[in-house]
């Protein structure tokens, strides 16, 4: 055992450092962190654009005012040089106020009216509801009017959050692999 210990001590003493390894690693990590922070910033904006485009291209009916898409924003926090960079898409409190149907569009489900059986006054393009088009087969948007509609079918989920999350993971994997 003492022979092995002496060999290790001799070996360590005979090495002459040619560079400060810890300093090289620190500089390399700092450069990589900056690249990663820039990459995350680019991914944040690309993910926001992807989510907005996904919602717009997957509308069930035309004539959307685009309110949900307009309300989805990007919250970014960067702490340059620390490696602590994060972002969030969509402020839930803001969405609850300005586009309270965001949850129903993403996850699908029944409206309050379809759960309780209550009627909603309105019309489809000035016409009464057509039972043959119930459940999403029509192309007109429901608007003001004097006809009663009794929704029975759930709203199909769009899954825009899950699709944007899959896009985000794909982009992060690309960033990490480069």
pLDDT given for residue 8 in this prediction: 42
pLDDT given for residue 87 in this prediction: 83
d(CA 34, CA 53): 29
Residue range 145-169, pLDDT digits in tens: 777 777 777 788 999 999 999 999 9
Between residues 52 and 83, the one the model is more confident about: 52
d(CA 157, CA 105): 6
Say if residue 70's pLDDT is above 50.
Answer: yes
Q: What angle do CA 128, 131, 133 make, to 5 degrees?
A: 95
In terms of Cα–Cα distance, which of 115, 104, 97 is closest to 158? 104
Sign of the four-CA dihedral 38, 106, 55, 70: negative
d(CA 99, CA 95): 5
pLDDT given for residue 168 in this prediction: 93
Instruction: Give the mean pLDDT of 73-79.
Output: 76
Instruction: Report the relative pairing of strands 120-124 and 142-149 from DSSP bridges.
Output: antiparallel
Say if residue 75's pLDDT is above 80.
Answer: yes
Residue range 2-32, pLDDT digits in tens: 444 444 444 444 455 555 666 666 666 565 6
Q: How far apart are the first and last CA of the chain?
A: 46
Residue range 77-134, pLDDT digits in tens: 666 656 566 788 999 999 999 999 899 999 988 876 666 777 777 777 777 767 676 6
d(CA 105, CA 96): 13
Q: In this structure, how many other beta carbons lie within 10 angstroms of the beta carbon of residue 90? A: 20
pTM above 0.95, yes or no: no
pLDDT given for residue 178 in this prediction: 75
């Amino acid at each position: 055992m003492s022979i092995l210990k002496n060999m290790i001590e001799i070996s360590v003493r005979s090495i002459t450092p040619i560079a400060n390894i810890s300093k090289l690693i620190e500089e390399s990590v700092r450069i990589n962190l900056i690249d990663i922070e820039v990459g995350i910033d680019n991914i944040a904006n690309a993910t926001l654009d992807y989510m907005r485009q996904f919602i717009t291209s997957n509308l069930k009916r035309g004539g959307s005012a685009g309110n949900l898409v307009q309300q989805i924003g990007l919250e970014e926090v960067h702490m340059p040089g620390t490696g602590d960079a994060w972002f969030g898409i969509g402020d839930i409190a803001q969405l609850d106020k300005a586009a309270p149907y965001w949850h129903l569009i993403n996850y699908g489900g029944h409206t309050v009216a379809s759960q309780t059986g209550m009627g909603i006054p309105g019309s489809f393009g000035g016409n009464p509801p057509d039972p043959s088009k119930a459940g999403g087969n029509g192309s007109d948007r429901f608007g003001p009017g004097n006809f009663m509609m009794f929704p029975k079918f759930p709203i199909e989920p769009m899954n825009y959050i899950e699709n944007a999350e899959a896009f985000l993971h794909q982009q992060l994997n690309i960033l990490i692999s480069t």
